[in-house]
Amino acid sequence: MGEHPSPGPAVAACAEAERIEELEPEAEERLPAAPEDHWKVLFDKFDPGNTGYISSGKFQSLLESHSSKLDPHKREVLLALADSHADGQICYQDFVNLVAFFLYNGVSLDQFVLQVTHPHYLKNSLVYHPQLRAQAWRYLTYIFMHAGIEHLGLNVVLQLLVGVPLEMVHGATRIGLVYVTGVVAGSLAVSVADMTAPVVGSSGGVYALISAHLANIVMNWSGMKCQFKLLRMAVALICMSMEFGRAVWLRCHPSAYPPCPHPSFVAHLGGVAVGITLGVVVLRNYEQRLQDQTLWWIFVAMYTIFVLFAVFWNIFAYTLLDLKLPPPP
């Protein structure tokens, strides 16, 4: 008799709904803001009047606040794109397109992969750095990093134009051998001839393949039945010259951040040296076994001597010469 009747299902459901409604504002406050909300909050800071537009001057001040993370050239491009209508106004959608894509992804990607003007581009476990030369894997892994889109693009084009056809004829083993020996020779050549510079890019291996291929064409010019051999040589030489010229200019150009020197171009020359020695022997006659060729053993001995010399040079020369190396990344 003293027991109260339990509420019906409908009453319980209404009470639960009221409780959920009371909790919803608190739950919303705890939810992280969506990316769109983040950009809207940032936009509204520069648009207090809620007009839907901000001035290009305010956009420039936003970019300048990130000037330490953004390439100066990219900042100029962003400003030009922002004022593409030449009216000094930027709407919200253009703001999101520019900032979200270029600023966010550009800073996140470029400072570690593609942007040598960023002070932290050397803070990577793949790049060869003279202060970290004891980490032996860097003499090989530097090929996975490049000093800009144009650097990466030219190397990819050269590998596709030359490397793939060579691999189809000579096989992956022989071409891989020339490529890897060129890569290692490139980084070792930098450690000997350009001792204060870091190294990035696959140019050592690419130049080993191309120089071996071109030397092979010249040596067998009369016997090669190829209608476009002159055109292929011209295209390869033009691409090589452009890429090498860019590397020399970049190395000699003053760094935006003096403690972080630009990458060396000597790896290109190390690759060429391998290409016109080991590479020529490898590509000269793909039907004859390498161990049956006297020149093969001569060049293998020369390469081994160079590697041993470079190893001892890295161990002793840096201390004896008392070089002023760039600070460790």
User: What integer pLDDT is reported at residue 268 of this predicted model?
Assistant: 94
Q: Catalytic: which of 187, 191, 203, 264?
A: 203
Q: What is the pLDDT of residues 126-169, one digit of tens each?
A: 889 998 999 999 999 999 888 777 788 888 888 888 888 888 88
Instruction: Select the highest-mean-pLDDT range: 42-56, 186-200, 218-232.
Output: 186-200
Q: Indicate if 203 belongs to the active site.
A: yes
Q: What is the pLDDT of residues 267-279, one digit of tens each?
A: 999 999 999 988 8
**Mean pLDDT, residues 22-45:** 54
User: What integer pLDDT is reported at residue 147 of this predicted model?
Assistant: 76
User: What integer pLDDT is reported at residue 49 of this predicted model?
Assistant: 79
Residue 55 half-sphere exposure toward CB, CA atoms < 13 A: 5
In order, the DSSP letters of 27-52 are: HHHHSPPPHHHHHHHHHHHH-TT--S
Burial class of residue 255, CB neighbours in 10 A (0-12, 13-18, 19+): middle
CA-nearest of 150, 143, 153 to 179 is 143
**Mean pLDDT, residues 176-181:** 93
**Distance between CA atoms of residues 225 and 276, nearest Å:** 22
Give the whole-number percent of the chain exceeding pLDDT 70.
Answer: 68
Model pTM score: 0.64
Phi and psi angles of residue 152, each rounded to the nearest 5 degrees, phi first: -65, -45
Phi and psi angles of residue 53, each rounded to the nearest 5 degrees, phi first: -135, 150
280 touches 216 (CB < 8 A): yes
User: What integer pLDDT is reported at residue 105 of this predicted model?
Assistant: 46
**Distance between CA atoms of residues 299 and 251, nearest Å:** 30
Q: Catalytic: which of 151, 170, 213, 268?
A: 268
25-34, 99-108, 297-306: segment of lowest average pLDDT: 25-34
User: What integer pLDDT is reported at residue 314 of this predicted model?
Assistant: 92
239 touches 158 (CB < 8 A): yes
**Distance between CA atoms of residues 155 and 146, nearest Å:** 9
Q: What is the pLDDT of residues 285-324, one digit of tens each?
A: 666 677 777 888 899 999 999 999 999 999 999 888 888 8
Q: Indicate if 120 belongs to the active site.
A: no
207 touches 268 (CB < 8 A): yes
Point out which residues pair with 55 in neighbouring strands.
89
Element (H, E) at 249: helix 229-252
Structure tokens at 29: 């406050």
What mean pLDDT, rounded, does the chain reach? Answer: 76
CA-nearest of 257, 150, 238 to 198 is 257
Count of Cβ atoms closer than 10 Å to residue 215 Cβ:
18
Burial class of residue 259, CB neighbours in 10 A (0-12, 13-18, 19+): exposed
User: What integer pLDDT is reported at residue 110 of this predicted model?
Assistant: 44
User: What integer pLDDT is reported at residue 36 of this predicted model?
Assistant: 52
145 touches 126 (CB < 8 A): yes
User: What integer pLDDT is reported at residue 124 of this predicted model?
Assistant: 77
Q: What is the pLDDT of residues 230-248, one digit of tens each?
A: 787 788 888 888 888 888 9
179 touches 205 (CB < 8 A): yes
Count of Cβ atoms closer than 10 Å to residue 163 Cβ:
21
User: What integer pLDDT is reported at residue 190 of this predicted model?
Assistant: 95
**Distance between CA atoms of residues 209 and 217, nearest Å:** 12
